[in-house]
């Protein structure tokens, strides 16, 4: 029986979720074909990982069709938000701005990205006024 609480995905689980987000609901054979092409994964590993992910609540399985079809239990956006919130809590002690400043300082942002950041900051500032 699948747990109701969704946990943070491991690196391998995230790879499987990416396949499901890109391809949509898929049988094991299709998921494995993509993983095998990208990473050389064994079929039994794919089956085992999907079983673990089902128990963790990361995927759902439609058992009314044969072969079973798996789908991501959460959207890419929701997973990204959870992982980002987890990173902010664990690394930056909950200080979101520290993460933002670190991200901007460690990569070369394009002019468009900087303009988008300015627009977002203006929107946030307007909400606080």
Whether residues 15 and 68 fall in one domain: yes
Q: Work out the average pLDDT over 27-35.
A: 96
CATH code, domain carrying 64:
1.10.10.10
What is residue 38's predicted lDDT score, i.e. its pLDDT? Answer: 86
Whether residues 100 and 112 fall in one domain: yes
- 4 — pLDDT class (breaks 50, 70, 90): very low
What is residue 108's predicted lDDT score, i.e. its pLDDT? Answer: 85
Whether residues 82 and 121 fall in one domain: yes
Whether residues 68 and 16 fall in one domain: yes
Q: Work out the average pLDDT over 60-67.
A: 94
pLDDT in tens, 81-129: 999 999 999 999 999 888 988 888 888 888 998 899 899 889 989 988 7
Whether residues 62 and 86 fall in one domain: no
Parent domain of 100: 76-128
Whether residues 20 and 68 fall in one domain: yes
Q: Supply the mean pLDDT for the chain.
A: 90
Using CA atoms, how far apart are residues 35 and 14, in angstroms rounded to an integer?
11
In a domain? residue 6: no
- 6 — pLDDT class (breaks 50, 70, 90): low
Using CA atoms, how far apart are residues 37 and 116, in angstroms rounded to an integer?
36
What is residue 5's predicted lDDT score, i.e. its pLDDT? Answer: 57
What angle, 0 to 180 degrees and rounded to 10, lies between the N-to-C axes of helices 76-92 and 11-23? 150
- 1 — pLDDT class (breaks 50, 70, 90): very low
Residue 71 CB contacts under 8 Å (≥ 6 apart), including other chains: 20, 24, 25, 26, 59, 60, 62
In this prediction the pTM is: 0.77
Domain count, the chain: 2
């Amino acid at each position: 029986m699948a747990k109701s609480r969704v946990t943070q995905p491991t690196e391998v689980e995230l790879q499987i979720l990416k396949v499901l987000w890109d391809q949509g609901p898929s049988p094991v054979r299709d998921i494995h074909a993509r993983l095998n092409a990208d990473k050389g994964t064994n079929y039994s590993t794919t089956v085992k990982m999907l079983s673990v992910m089902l128990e963790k609540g990361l995927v759902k399985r439609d058992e009314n069709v044969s072969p079973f079809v798996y789908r991501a239990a959460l959207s890419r956006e929701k997973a990204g938000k959870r992982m980002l919130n987890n990173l902010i809590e664990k690394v930056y002690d909950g200080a979101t701005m520290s993460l933002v400043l670190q991200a901007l300082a460690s990569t070369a942002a394009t002019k468009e990205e900087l303009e988008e950041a300015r627009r977002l900051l203006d929107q946030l500032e307007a909400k606080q006024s």
